[in-house]
């Protein structure tokens, strides 16, 4: 019976989403919002009951705030009748998920996301929307096209979403119980230490910042490694003395990501560049205004008189 | 300077992120299926990308592994390329019919 | 033979034939004998090439004549070299081994004297008739010419396989091959519906017999484990399979073989195809449907004679069927007007004699009659063909007369006379001796009603003499009179019908006619030749038959070890009219033949009006009127077949057609096809062209698959955890 709770919670959430998708009075929307948040709360409770593990209250509070903003912005994005507002809500989603990324110690990704998504991609969307959507300039509801106001078969879509969400939540909650324990400090120290060994200057600076009177270079161990690590942190051996490197001097998230990118996925990186280049070419070729010159335009371009003066200019724009 | 909010990142935390990611994905999917505006449909796909990105980063955090973030970089790449091409196509389509209604393009049934 | 079989046969037969089993020799030095087969095959290929390259000359004819002559010469050489049965391996054909059995059928030749006897007249007559056809078919020079001669070559190859094959499978190959060649050549004029129908009829009727042969071969293989003659005969001779001789299959084999022989050799239930086969070109009628192919049934029974001796009742059936066929066909032949048709019924009748001979234990008589019949019947057909060729297809004997007085036709008339004399069994002609050997033996051998059968055969001999000379007197004698047929060749000689001039045969036809007529006359010589080895009367033909698997009932055969003296049969059976049957038969047969001949001359030459008067007299009497009517209508056999076989089959065919059309096609095939369409109509709204409805379907499907996988994983994990 416990296995059904995620599905029931998703059912509740899905019905809330259905209420929000359908055009209706404000009361219904409010009801949907309330039901939706309670479904989210239930899901959090279900997770806490099923999945083992400690949790930091400060982290949890920030997560709940950012998560609530993300999800409610997403729902608002798909329910709002004006595409421009949808895009703006999407910016909201991006910003709040950047906050989540910060919680996940992925600072580089958080800011990259804001710059690339909110700064570049969404601006492109905005431009296209403005190009295509003259009617939405007015605030008046009636001038929003009908196809933007009416959701298309919300019931079917919500049922599909319900199945998928229930499955995902159920799989997540039950599957995570089989995961090994989370990494401890020693593993994190190993990861930091391994990268630090690859960065000689930072390594030297870090060691010297920790113990300024150490005689460089340190003594490698029998297998040639300079850094040892355990739960206390990475160490460097100078003769008989072991120096613990200051945690503040560890490589940053950006350094880790960059190192992973170029060390493990160089070919993929190149491919990504090629894809971007080709996408740019494609966009240019596709969006270029196709101008078909007629016989007369060609003649005029090279300085001859048009053969059919009457029809001049009719074939200019395709 | 790194943010050191949590010393441990347990399965429970991961489950929160993954559930969030799943719900975000489903919301994007529902949006894709219900909205009739071509541009909004593409926005919804971006939402699904976003959900995947959150799942990647959270999992990477759990294993203390940065491959997840690398993948998010590739997701950003694909999203950018997709946005460029898709929007170009939308512009083309809009020039044809002066509408963004996906239901107006029913040639698939022929 | 073991005592068990010997006793069984002694109980039932007056004369126990012994199978002379000299060990079969592997004659590798005679490898060139394979060219008896390969020559026609090469000729077939070359004629095919001629057709492909549209050769507009008589080249195909010369190729065929040359290759068949080569085969003939090789056969004669082989015959002179061969003194014991020998086996010549050409190549390995089928050889399958498995645990507990094997199936071996090599492409090898089994050469004994019976083979040589058959092959000598097959290849010899084949050569001559091909030469004849080179002139006869000249109006078709071109593609049809090449087609004709490739058919003849194919026939000779298949006949060679049939006769010379070392095993029953090769015999079957040849058996089907000659059937196919016969179909090919009967349907030569494929634009004529009658020819096409005749070809189909011949093929289909033969299938019935072929079924018997196939079953017989299967039974022989399953009983004895081999299909090779030498091993089969060794088994039968040594009696190593004695235990299995009581098996039902041993009793069934002769009947199945008999069915095959009756189909191929046009005997009573299955003879109807042969008269219709005369739709083919006349050389084909002469070669295939008179001289050679139709004797394959005789050959089959002669070759498989040991099996028949194991089951004597089967020989009684053979005798009776042969005798009745002879009588029936002769009565039909009496009342026909088409020359070729008369000769066709005559062939059926004579084949009946041969089966009678086999049935009354004179394989010598049967083989000798095959040999002589091949010559004189070939002459008769070829003469009829010359007439047909010269008179634009006219074959009605009421519309032709006085041929022997016409310029250029004398050779035809007199060679035809020779053929008629032989067929009628006029004293001291070849047909006289060969037929007498059979007739006399019918009185000698004991069997159910064999004496009556003998009298039936004698009566048939009288009818034979009558209808044979009826043809000759009508066509060749009498006042000169002719009407052309409807096949006017547009070669400039006769543009208008009233200007019709028969074109007399030229060298090739006349030469062949003379040669074969001489052969027909000389065919009586072997009867007088004495045998060198065992003093058996009947000359080398008897000698040859005696050396083969068909050895039985040779006159004066008593010297052979294991044989109960033939004289014993004479002694206790006695005589005919107080004389030794062989002697008495000379007189009886001569007199009967003379009466028939006289009657024919009287009614059809001297006083032709008497024939018409006789006919009208018969027709005027109600009590006798059925006789000429039935005879002219061939005893309504075709009609009976139509009612008994064709009509039910037609009905069955239409029922099957209806079943196929409405049940199989309508319900099963179309119904099955309609089902998805109905389902599709149900799902059609899903296929609406809307992007998002496809997306819903796809996402829903993916979601369901994911759900299923997750549920399964949870289920199995839950199971494994507990």
Closest CA to A238 of A208, A266, A215, A261: A215
Alpha-carbon gap, residue B44 to A115, rounded angstroms: 19
Q: Does A126 lie in the same domain as A37?
A: yes
Q: Flag if C692 and A159 touch (Cβ within 8 Å).
A: no
Out of C585, C600, C624, a domain closes at C624
Based on the number of CB atoms within 10 Å of its own CB, is A111 exposed (0-12), middle (13-18) or buried (19 or more)?
A: middle
Instruction: Label residue C606 by pLDDT band (50, 70, 90).
Output: confident
Instruction: Label residue C289 by pLDDT band (50, 70, 90).
Output: confident
Nearest CA in chain C to B29: C699
C188 in a structural domain: no
User: The CATH number of the domain where A52 resides is what?
Assistant: 1.20.120
Q: Does A229 lie in the same domain as A103?
A: no
CATH of domain B11-103: 1.10.287.3510
* Phi, psi (deg, nearest 5) at residue C94: -125, 125
Alpha-carbon gap, residue C318 to C315, rounded angstroms: 5
C363 in a structural domain: yes
Query: Which of C685, C690, C693, C699 to mutate: most A Cβ within 10 Å?
Result: C699
C304 in a structural domain: no
Alpha-carbon gap, residue B35 to A20, rounded angstroms: 13
Judge whether C513 and C386 are in contact, CB under 8 Å: yes
Q: Is A165 within 8 Å of chain B by CB? A: yes
Q: C286-316 burial by CB neighbour count: b if 16+ within 10 A, else e?
A: bbbbbbbbbbbbbbbbbbbbbbbbbbbebbb
A317 in a structural domain: no
Query: Which chain C residues have any C-beta within 8 angstroms of a chain B C-beta?
Result: 687-692, 694-696, 699
A316 in a structural domain: no
What's the rounded mean pLDDT across residues C694-705? 91
* Phi, psi (deg, nearest 5) at residue C87: -125, 130
C279 in a structural domain: no
Alpha-carbon gap, residue C474 to C479, rounded angstroms: 9
Q: Does A140 lie in the same domain as A35?
A: yes
CA dihedral C130, C136, C142, C145 (to 10 degrees): -40
From chain A, the residues in CB contact with B99 under 8 A are 145, 147
Structure tokens that stand for A23 in this block: 């055009």
Q: Which pLDDT tens digit goes with each residue over C673-686?
A: 899 889 888 888 77
Which residues are within 8 A (CB) of A272 and not within 5 positions of it... i.e. 6 or more apart? B73, B74, B77
Q: How many CB pairs under 8 A join A and B?
A: 301
Q: Does A165 lie in the same domain as A18?
A: yes
SS3 C110: strand
Angle between helices C507-522 and C430-444 (to 10 degrees): 40
C378 in a structural domain: yes
pLDDT at C364 over 80: yes
* Chain C: touching chains (3 or more CB pairs < 8 Å): A, B
Strands of C40-184, DSSP E:
86-98, 101-111
* HSE, side-chain direction, 13 A CA sphere, residue C347: 36
List the single range of A183-197, A207-221, A255-269, C356-370 with lowest mean pLDDT: A207-221
Tell me whether strands C25-26 and C86-98 are parallel, antiparallel or unpaired. Answer: parallel
Peptide bond into A217 cis (omega under 30): yes
Instruction: Label residue C397 by pLDDT band (50, 70, 90).
Output: confident
A241 bridge partner residues = A238
Query: Which of A13, A40, A106, A273 to mutate: most B Cβ within 10 Å?
Result: A106
Mean pLDDT of chain C: 82
| Greater model confidence, C66 or C495 | C66
Query: Which of A2, A21, A155, A156 to mutate: most C Cβ within 10 Å?
Result: A156
What's the rounded mean pLDDT across residues C319-333? 92
What's the rounded mean pLDDT across residues C388-408? 84
pLDDT of residue C210: 92
* Phi, psi (deg, nearest 5) at residue B71: -65, -35
Q: Does A245 lie in the same domain as A152?
A: no
What's the rounded mean pLDDT across residues C303-321? 87
Q: Does C681 lie in the same domain as C597?
A: no
Q: Which domain holds residue A200?
A: 185-249
Helical residues (DSSP H) of chain A, grouped into ranges = 5-21, 26-50, 57-79, 83-103, 107-113, 122-132, 146-149, 154-176, 185-198, 200-210, 253-264, 266-287, 295-301
pLDDT of residue C563: 33
Q: Which pLDDT tens digit goes with each residue over C137-177?
A: 888 887 789 999 999 999 999 999 999 998 999 999 999 99
Mean pLDDT of chain A: 84
Based on the number of CB atoms within 10 Å of its own CB, is C662 exposed (0-12), middle (13-18) or buried (19 or more)?
A: exposed
pLDDT at C668 over 60: yes
Q: Does C677 lie in the same domain as C701?
A: no
What's the rounded mean pLDDT across residues A73-78? 94
Domain extent listing, chain B: 11-103
pLDDT at C20 over 90: no
How close does chain A come to C677, measured CA to CA in Å?
26
SS3 A81: coil
pLDDT of residue B44: 94
pLDDT of residue C460: 92
pLDDT at C560 over 70: no
Q: Which domain holds residue C716?
A: 690-722
Instruction: Label residue C92 by pLDDT band (50, 70, 90).
Output: confident
C257 in a structural domain: no
Number of domains in chain C: 3
pLDDT of residue C681: 87
C105 bridge partner residues = C94
C235 in a structural domain: no
pLDDT of residue A169: 92
pLDDT of residue C433: 86
Q: Does C375 lie in the same domain as C439?
A: yes
List the single range of B20-29, C155-164, C258-267, C630-639 with lowest mean pLDDT: C630-639
Q: Does C669 lie in the same domain as C599?
A: no
pLDDT at C377 over 60: yes
From chain C, the residues in CB contact with B110 under 8 A are 689
**Number of residues in chain B:** 110
By Cβ distance, the residue of C699, C714, C717 closest to A160 is C699
From chain B, the residues in CB contact with A135 under 8 A are none
Tell me whether strands C25-26 and A241-244 are parallel, antiparallel or unpaired. Answer: unpaired
From chain B, the residues in CB contact with C687 under 8 A are 109
A318 in a structural domain: no
pLDDT of residue A94: 95
Q: Which pLDDT tens digit goes with each residue over B63-92?
A: 888 999 999 999 999 999 999 999 888 888
DSSP-assigned letters across all residues of A139-190? --GGGS-HHHHS-SSHHHHHHHHHHHHHHHHHHHHHHHTTSPPPP-HHHHHH
Out of A176, A202, A220, a domain closes at A176
Stretch 50-69 of chain B: residues touching chain A, C-beta under 8 Å: 50, 53-54, 57-58, 60-67, 69
What's the rounded mean pLDDT across residues C642-653? 89
C103 bridge partner residues = C96
* Chain A: touching chains (3 or more CB pairs < 8 Å): B, C
Instruction: State the pTM of this model.
Output: 0.61
| Greater model confidence, C669 or C560 | C669
C47 in a structural domain: no
Nearest CA in chain B to A192: B64
Out of A121, A152, A176, a domain closes at A176
Q: Flag if A159 and C700 touch (Cβ within 8 Å).
A: yes
Q: Does A307 lie in the same domain as A236?
A: no
Q: Flag if B73 and A261 touch (Cβ within 8 Å).
A: yes
Out of C624, C657, C675, a domain closes at C624
Based on the number of CB atoms within 10 Å of its own CB, is C661 exposed (0-12), middle (13-18) or buried (19 or more)?
A: exposed
Rg (CA), chain A: 29
Strands of C19-85, DSSP E:
25-26
Q: Does C570 lie in the same domain as C471?
A: yes
Q: Does A82 lie in the same domain as A35?
A: yes
Out of A112, A142, A176, a domain closes at A176
Structure tokens that stand for C566 in this block: 């033939």
Alpha-carbon gap, residue A125 to A90, rounded angstroms: 11
What is the separation of C-alpha C579 from the centre of its chain, rounded to a whole number of angstroms?
36
Number of domains in chain A: 3
Instruction: Label residue A113 by pLDDT band (50, 70, 90).
Output: very high
Terminal CA-to-CA distance of chain C, rounded, Å?
Answer: 82
Q: Which pLDDT tens digit goes with each residue over C419-465?
A: 999 998 888 888 888 888 888 888 888 778 888 888 899 999 999 99
Q: Does A227 lie in the same domain as A189?
A: yes
Q: Flag if B32 and C695 touch (Cβ within 8 Å).
A: yes
pLDDT of residue C402: 84
Closest CA to C262 of C253, C248, C272: C272
Q: What percent of chain C has pLDDT over 90?
A: 31
How close does chain A come to B55, measured CA to CA in Å?
10
pLDDT of residue C246: 64
Judge whether C296 and C355 are in contact, CB under 8 Å: no
Terminal CA-to-CA distance of chain B, rounded, Å?
Answer: 60
A135 in a structural domain: yes
Q: Does C430 lie in the same domain as C409?
A: yes
List the single range of A47-56, A206-215, C233-242, C389-398 with lowest mean pLDDT: C233-242
A100 in a structural domain: yes
List the single range of B57-61, C223-227, C511-515 with lowest mean pLDDT: C223-227
By Cβ distance, the residue of A48, A52, A257 closest to B66 is A257
Instruction: Label residue C566 by pLDDT band (50, 70, 90).
Output: very low
């Amino acid at each position: 019976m416990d296995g059904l709770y995620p599905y029931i919670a998703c059912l509740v959430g899905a019905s809330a989403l259905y209420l929000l998708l359908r055009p209706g009075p404000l009361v219904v929307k409010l009801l949907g919002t309330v039901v939706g948040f309670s479904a989210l709360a239930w899901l959090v409770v279900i997770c806490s009951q099923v999945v083992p593990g400690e949790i930091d209250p400060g982290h949890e509070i920030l997560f709940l705030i950012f998560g609530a903003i993300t999800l409610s912005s997403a729902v608002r994005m798909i329910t709002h009748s004006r595409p421009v507002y949808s895009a703006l809500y999407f910016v909201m989603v991006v910003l709040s998920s950047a906050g989540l990324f910060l919680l996940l110690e992925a600072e580089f990704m958080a800011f990259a996301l804001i710059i690339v998504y909110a700064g570049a991609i969404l601006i492109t969307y905005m431009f296209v929307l403005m190009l295509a959507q003259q009617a939405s300039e007015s605030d008046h509801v009636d001038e929003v096209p009908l196809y933007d106001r009416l959701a298309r078969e919300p019931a079917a879509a919500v049922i599909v979403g319900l199945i998928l969400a229930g499955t995902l939540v159920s799989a997540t909650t039950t599957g995570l119980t089989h995961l090994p324990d989370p990494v401890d400090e020693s593993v994190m120290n190993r990861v930091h230490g391994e990268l630090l060994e690859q960065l000689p200057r930072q390594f030297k600076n870090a060691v010297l910042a920790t113990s300024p009177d150490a005689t460089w270079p340190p003594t490698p161990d029998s297998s040639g490694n300079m850094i040892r690590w355990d739960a206390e942190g990475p160490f460097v051996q100078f003769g008989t003395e072991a120096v613990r490197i200051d945690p503040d001097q560890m490589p940053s998230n950006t350094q880790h990501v960059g190192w992973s990118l170029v060390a493990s996925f160089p070919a993929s990186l190149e491919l990504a560049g090629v894809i971007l280049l080709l996408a740019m070419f494609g966009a240019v070729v596709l969006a270029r205004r196709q101008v078909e010159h007629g016989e007369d335009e060609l003649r005029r371009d090279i300085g001859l008189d048009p053969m059919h003066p009457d029809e001049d200019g009719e074939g200019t724009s395709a | 300077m790194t943010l050191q909010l949590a010393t441990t990142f347990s399965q429970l935390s991961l489950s929160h992120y993954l559930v969030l990611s799943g719900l975000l994905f489903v919301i994007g999917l529902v949006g894709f299926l219900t909205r009739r505006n071509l541009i909004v449909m593409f926005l919804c796909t971006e939402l699904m990308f976003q959900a995947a990105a959150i799942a990647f980063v959270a999992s990477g955090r759990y294993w203390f592994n940065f491959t997840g973030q690398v993948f998010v970089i590739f997701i950003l790449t694909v999203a950018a390329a997709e946005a460029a091409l898709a929007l170009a196509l939308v512009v083309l389509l809009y020039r044809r019919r002066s509408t963004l209604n996906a239901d107006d393009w029913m040639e698939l049934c022929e | 033979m073991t005592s068990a079989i010997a006793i069984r046969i002694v109980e039932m037969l007056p004369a126990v034939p012994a199978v002379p089993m000299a060990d079969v020799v592997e004659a590798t030095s005679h490898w060139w004998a394979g060219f008896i087969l390969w020559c026609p095959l090469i000729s077939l290929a070359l004629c095919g090439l001629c057709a492909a390259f549209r050769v507009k000359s008589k080249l195909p004819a010369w190729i065929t004549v040359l290759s068949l002559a080569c085969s003939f010469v090789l056969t004669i050489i082989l015959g002179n070299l061969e003194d014991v049965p020998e086996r010549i391996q050409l190549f390995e054909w089928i050889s399958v081994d498995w645990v507990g059995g094997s199936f071996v059928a090599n492409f090898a030749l089994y050469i004994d004297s019976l083979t040589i006897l058959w092959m000598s007249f097959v290849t010899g007559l084949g050569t001559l008739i091909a030469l004849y056809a080179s002139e006869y078919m000249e109006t078709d020079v071109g593609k049809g010419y090449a087609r004709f001669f490739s058919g003849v070559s194919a026939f000779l190859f298949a006949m060679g396989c049939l006769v010379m094959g070392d095993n029953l499978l090769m015999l079957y190959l040849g058996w089907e091959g000659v059937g196919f060649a016969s179909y090919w050549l009967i349907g030569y004029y494929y634009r004529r519906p009658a020819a096409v129908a005749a070809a189909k009829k011949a093929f289909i009727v033969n299938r019935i017999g072929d079924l018997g042969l196939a079953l017989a071969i299967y039974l022989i293989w399953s009983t004895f484990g081999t299909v090779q003659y030498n091993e089969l005969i060794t088994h039968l001779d040594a009696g190593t399979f004695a235990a299995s001789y009581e098996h039902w299959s041993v009793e069934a084999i002769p009947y199945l073989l008999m069915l095959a022989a009756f189909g191929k050799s046009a005997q009573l239930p299955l003879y109807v195809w042969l008269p219709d086969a005369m739709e083919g070109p006349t050389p084909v009628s002469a070669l295939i449907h008179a001289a050679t192919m139709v004797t394959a049934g005789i050959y089959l029974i002669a070759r498989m004679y040991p099996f028949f001796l194991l089951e004597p009742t089967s020989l009684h059936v053979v005798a009776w069927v042969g005798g009745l066929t002879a009588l029936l066909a002769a009565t039909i032949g009496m009342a026909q007007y088409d020359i070729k048709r008369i000769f066709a019924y005559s062939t059926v009748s004579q084949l009946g004699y041969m089966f009678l001979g086999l049935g009354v234990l004179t394989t010598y008589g049967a083989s000798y009659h095959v040999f002589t019949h091949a010559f004189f019947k070939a002459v008769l057909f070829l003469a009829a063909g010359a007439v047909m060729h010269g008179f634009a297809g006219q074959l009605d004997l009421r519309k032709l007369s006085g041929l022997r007085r016409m310029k250029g036709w004398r050779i035809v008339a007199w060679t035809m006379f020779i053929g008629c004399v032989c067929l009628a069994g006029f004293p001291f002609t070849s047909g006289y001796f060969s037929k007498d050997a059979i007739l006399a033996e019918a009185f000698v051998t004991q069997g159910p009603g064999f004496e009556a059968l003998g009298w039936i055969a004698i009566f048939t001999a009288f009818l034979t003499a009558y209808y044979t000379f009826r043809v000759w007197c009508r066509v060749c004698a009498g006042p000169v009179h002719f009407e052309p047929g409807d096949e006017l060749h547009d070669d400039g000689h006769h543009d208008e019908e009233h200007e019709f001039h028969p074109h007399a045969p030229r060298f090739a036809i006349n030469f062949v006619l003379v040669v074969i007529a001489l052969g027909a006359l000389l065919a009586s010589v072997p009867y007088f030749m004495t045998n060198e080895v065992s003093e058996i009367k009947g000359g080398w033909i008897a000698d040859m038959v005696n050396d083969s698997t068909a050895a039985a009932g040779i006159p004066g055969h008593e010297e052979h070890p294991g044989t109960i003296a033939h004289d014993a049969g004479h002694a206790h059976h006695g005589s005919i009219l107080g004389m030794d049957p062989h002697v008495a038969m000379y007189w009886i047969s001569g007199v009967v033949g003379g009466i028939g001949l006289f009657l024919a001359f009287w009614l059809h030459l001297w006083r032709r009006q008497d024939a018409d008067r006789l006919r009208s007299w018969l027709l005027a009497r109600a009590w006798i009127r059925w006789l000429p009517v039935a005879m002219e209508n061939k005893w309504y056999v075709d009609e009976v077949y139509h009612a008994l076989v064709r009509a039910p089959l037609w009905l069955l065919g239409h029922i099957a057609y209806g079943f196929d059309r409405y049940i199989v096609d309508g319900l099963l095939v179309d119904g099955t096809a309609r089902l998805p369409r109905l389902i599709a109509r149900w799902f059609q709204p899903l296929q609406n062209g809307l992007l998002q409805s496809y997306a819903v379907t796809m996402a829903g499907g993916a979601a369901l698959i994911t759900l299923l996988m997750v549920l399964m994983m949870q289920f199995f994990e839950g199971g494994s955890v507990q």
